[in-house]
């Protein structure tokens, strides 16, 4: 890719802003304008937060928080989201659990491999605090993204045929247009799009943000499980995993 042309990711990033600007003009309103400014702010913060290099744990915590906090601010500042735990909400939380188990069944083989002893034994060592920050990000991003993509966008004074695609597609774009978006595969983006659509349905049908958050948290369980396994590998059962690593290396040398 030539340096004097925009990449596909950069073009889509600019187009995403243009589309929200058009929506704000066609359907004028304060919150539609807030959506536009919020999206620009999210792009700017997420695209530049890695410039912040800190040597102390407090500032590392601040930097990690900046990855996801901007998603929550529009909802927290401008809206009152329903978090009432009533019978209807509980029913759709159960639906979220069912959806998760369907997803788990489909992806069980790949998840089992990712959490296998041999794979975990080969993971690089990271400090306890970095592992904590990764878990903190997995939970914090889940809540804040749902507050923005479901709680905020679907509460705007927009026709559903516009709000629903924005909620679903922009959730996927939030992972695609960031500088590290290339780390996601096409199947990852497809899964994000499908999840966004399911989360939209849960929010609309339940009238609550809780089922969407429950589903999102459940889908992040494999990530959290891997963080826990890596911690155990390096700080609880190091000798056990080192032995597995040696045995694996010996087996590889024999097969060669």
- Could you tell me how far CA 177 lies from the centroid of its own chain? 13
Distance of alpha carbon 65 from alpha carbon 67, whole angstroms: 5
Q: Closest Cα to residue 74, out of 28, 16, 30? A: 30
Q: What digits encode the pLDDT tens for the residues 226-254?
A: 999 999 999 999 999 988 888 776 545 44
Confidence band (pLDDT; 50, 70, 90) for 149? very high
Q: Closest Cα to residue 167, out of 186, 141, 195? A: 195
Structure tokens at 126: 């990271």
Distance of alpha carbon 169 from alpha carbon 179, whole angstroms: 18
Structure tokens at 127: 């400090």
- Could you tell me how far CA 179 lies from the centroid of its own chain? 15
Q: Is 207 left (phi over 0), alpha (psi -120 to 50) or beta?
A: left
Which ranges of 152-185 does DSSP label H, i.e. alpha helix? 160-176
DSSP class of residue 149? Answer: I
Which ranges of 177-220 does DSSP label H, i.e. alpha helix? 186-206, 210-219
Q: In 4-99, where do the E strands start and end?
A: none
Determine the average pLDDT of the residues in 76-84.
Answer: 84
pLDDT for residue 58 is more than 70: yes
CB atoms near residue 125 (< 10 Å): 11
DSSP class of residue 166? Answer: H
Structure tokens at 22: 């058009």
Distance of alpha carbon 152 from alpha carbon 145, whole angstroms: 10
Sign of the Cα torsion 174, 53, 227, 68 reads negative
Given a contact cutoff of 8 angstroms between Cβ atoms, the answer to whether 146 and 209 are in contact is yes
| Averaged pLDDT score across all residues of the chain | 91
Which of helix, strand or coil describes residue 54? coil
What pLDDT score does 56 carry? Answer: 87
Distance of alpha carbon 139 from alpha carbon 141, whole angstroms: 6
What pLDDT score does 2 carry? Answer: 57
Distances (CA, A) of 223 to 42, 64, 115, 138, 217: 23, 16, 9, 8, 10
What pLDDT score does 228 carry? Answer: 97
pTM: 0.92
Q: Which residues contact 191 (CB under 8 A, 6 or more apart)?
A: none
Q: What digits encode the pLDDT tens for the residues 162-180?
A: 999 999 999 999 999 888 8
């Amino acid at each position: 890719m030539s340096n004097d042309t925009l990449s596909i990711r950069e073009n889509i990033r600019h187009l995403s802003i243009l589309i929200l600007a058009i929506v704000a003009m066609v359907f004028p309103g304060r919150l539609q304008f807030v959506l536009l400014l919020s999206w620009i702010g999210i792009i700017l913060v997420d695209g530049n937060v890695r410039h912040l290099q800190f040597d102390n744990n407090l500032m590392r915590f601040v930097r990690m928080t900046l990855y996801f906090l901007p998603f929550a601010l529009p909802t927290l500042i401008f809206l009152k989201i329903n978090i009432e735990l009533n019978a209807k909400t509980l029913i759709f939380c159960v639906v979220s659990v069912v959806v998760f188990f369907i997803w788990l069944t489909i992806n069980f083989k790949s998840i089992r491999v990712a959490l296998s002893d041999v794979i975990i034994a080969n993971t690089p060592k990271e400090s306890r605090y970095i592992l904590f920050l990764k878990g903190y990000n997995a939970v914090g991003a889940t809540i804040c993204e749902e507050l923005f993509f479901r709680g905020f966008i679907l509460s705007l004074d927009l026709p559903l045929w516009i709000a629903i695609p924005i909620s679903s597609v922009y959730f996927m774009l939030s992972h695609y247009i960031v500088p590290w978006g290339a780390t996601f595969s096409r199947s990852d983006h497809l899964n994000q799009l499908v999840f966004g659509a399911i989360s939209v349905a849960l929010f609309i049908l339940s009238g609550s943000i809780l089922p969407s958050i429950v589903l999102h948290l459940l889908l992040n369980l494999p990530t959290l499980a891997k963080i826990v396994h890596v911690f155990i590998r390096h700080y609880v059962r190091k000798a056990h995993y080192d032995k597995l690593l040696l045995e694996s290396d010996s087996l590889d040398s024999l097969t060669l």
